[in-house]
Structures are given as structure tokens and as C-alpha cells.
Amino acid sequence: MDVAFVSTNEGKFREVASLLAPFGVRVRWSPRTLPELQADRLATVARAKLAAVPASSRRVLVEDSGLFLEAFPGFPGVYSAPVYALLGFGPILRLLRGRTRAAAFRTVAALRWDGTVRLFYGEVRGRIALGPRGAHGFGYDPIFLPEGAARTFAEMGPAEKDAISHRGQAIRRAGAWMRRRAGPRARAVARRSDREQM
Ligand code: IMP
């Protein structure tokens, strides 16, 4: 089974494609720009992105994610993308001097599947590093240390990040839903195509 993932962010696409492969879901990347509603909740933004994709696309996945700093509730949150694009992470590191470095990444994935709309959530807690480290991933990965880890997301390989990340949790939930929804016949086809790829 196939789903279109609509996002201009190639880093997200790579993660989503490899997260959904084990569920027998093939992801087609649609790198088009969707209007980003100004709203204070990821779920509202994710729903609005999905609504902006023409109804002729019957199986579509979008997501909205953000970094949330405990010291500054809601920031950068839904504004994570423009804050990063305009300022990078320098200002965040400066703002956190002398304050709690606790932070979380959150994702809301919105799926349209043959007329049904479902939302899936993921969160990973952690803290902001004293400075950027690592070369993998994208966005704020070099400054985010997931709880219990001594390395930033950017110091981990993709599989290690996917296993614990906010996007990993939300997208695996979406994958499990799609597999259940597809029924036994589609599951058998997915298993067969997995075997053929081995
Ligand atoms: P949006 O979901 O397109 O609004 O963008 C979310 C922004 O949050 C991205 O552009 C990144 O700057 C940041 N972000 C979201 N998820 C991640 C992640 O997994 N790693 C690093 N930065 C992320």
C-alpha cells in the first residue's frame, strides 16, 4: 500500500519512509509547500495542512513538529521552523544560559485514508546541549539530547534516532493503524513484497 507524504523537508521524508517500510507502507514524497496556519497547537496546524491537500489525494500523510523549551512555554513550538530558518539555534543557546535546559520534541501526524482522518502523537523529552554536536539529521538535532542519552540526535545514526524520536513514535502509530486498516489481504501482499526485497 502507498501513501503520499506532503512536506518540503527532505529530512522528515527520509525518516517517515524508513519508519513506514516495516508496516508494508511505501511512501511517495510530494515536496510541495502547504500553507502553515498560524495556530498555537501542532494538531491544529497538522489538520490544516491535511485539509489543504486536494481531496483527490485519497491516502495522504502530513505532520507538524516542534521543539518545546520548558523555560519558555510554547517556544519555539509551532514556530520552530521559522525560528530555525531565520536565527539558527544560537539565540536558543543564549536564552537558556542560567535557566532549565529541559525540552521536548513533539510531532502530530495527520493521516487521510480513504475518507477517514486520524491524528497520531509522539513526544520525546530531553534537554538542550551546551553547544551543537554531531552531523546527522536536520534542524535542531545537534542541540537536542534525548533523556538518558549522552549524545545529541545529530550524533546518532538515523535508526537510533527513529527508535526513540517524537516522529518515530507518531509515525509507527500511524503505520500500525494503516496495517490494521488494510486487512489481512494487504498484509499478505506487504509480507510477500518484503520477502522479495530480501
Ligand atoms: P514544521 O513541522 O514543518 O512546522 O517544522 C518543524 C521544525 O521543527 C523543523 O523545521 C525543524 O526546525 C524542527 N524539527 C522538527 N522535528 C525535528 C527533528 O526531528 N529534528 C530537528 N529539528 C526538528
Domain boundaries, the chain: 2-196
What pLDDT, in 10s, does the model give residues 18-38? 999 999 999 999 998 887 777
Q: Please choose from 65, 67, 121, 138 the residue to mutate so as to test ligand 1's pocket, defined by most ligand atoms within 8 A of CB.
A: 65
Ligand 1 center to 8 CA (angstroms): 11
Q: Where are the beta strands (DSSP E) in 54-156?
A: 59-69, 72-76, 102-113, 116-128, 144-146
What pLDDT, in 10s, does the model give residues 63-97? 999 999 999 999 999 999 999 999 999 999 999 99
DSSP 84: H
Ligand 1 center to 181 CA (angstroms): 29
How confident is the model at residue 13, as a pLDDT?
Answer: 96
How confident is the model at residue 33, as a pLDDT?
Answer: 85
How confident is the model at residue 100, as a pLDDT?
Answer: 98
Task: Reply yes or no on whether the pLDDT at 134 is more than 80.
Answer: yes
**Active-site residue set:** 64
Write the CB contacts of 148 (distance below 8 Å, at least 6 apart in sequence).
Answer: none
Residue of the CA atom closest to atom 10 of ligand 1: 81
How confident is the model at residue 189, as a pLDDT?
Answer: 58
What pLDDT, in 10s, does the model give residues 35-54? 777 788 999 999 999 999 99
How confident is the model at residue 111, as a pLDDT?
Answer: 98
- Establish whether the linkage from the previous residue to 184 is cis, with ω within 30° of 0: no
Cα distance between residue 118 and residue 136, in whole Å: 30
How confident is the model at residue 14, as a pLDDT?
Answer: 94
3-class secondary structure, 48 = helix
Query: Lowest-confidence range among 54-63, 142-151, 186-195?
Result: 186-195
Q: Please choose from 67, 106, 144, 161 the residue to mutate so as to test ligand 1's pocket, defined by most ligand atoms within 8 A of CB.
A: 67
CATH of domain 2-196: 3.90.950.10
For the record, the C-alpha cell of 39 comes out as: 495556530
- Ligand 1 atom nearest residue 64's Cα: 2
Ligand 1 center to 195 CA (angstroms): 34
Task: Reply yes or no on whether the pLDDT at 190 is more than 80.
Answer: no
Q: The whole model's pTM is what?
A: 0.90
Task: Reply yes or no on whether the pLDDT at 125 is more than 90.
Answer: yes
Task: Reply yes or no on whether the pLDDT at 196 is more than 60.
Answer: no
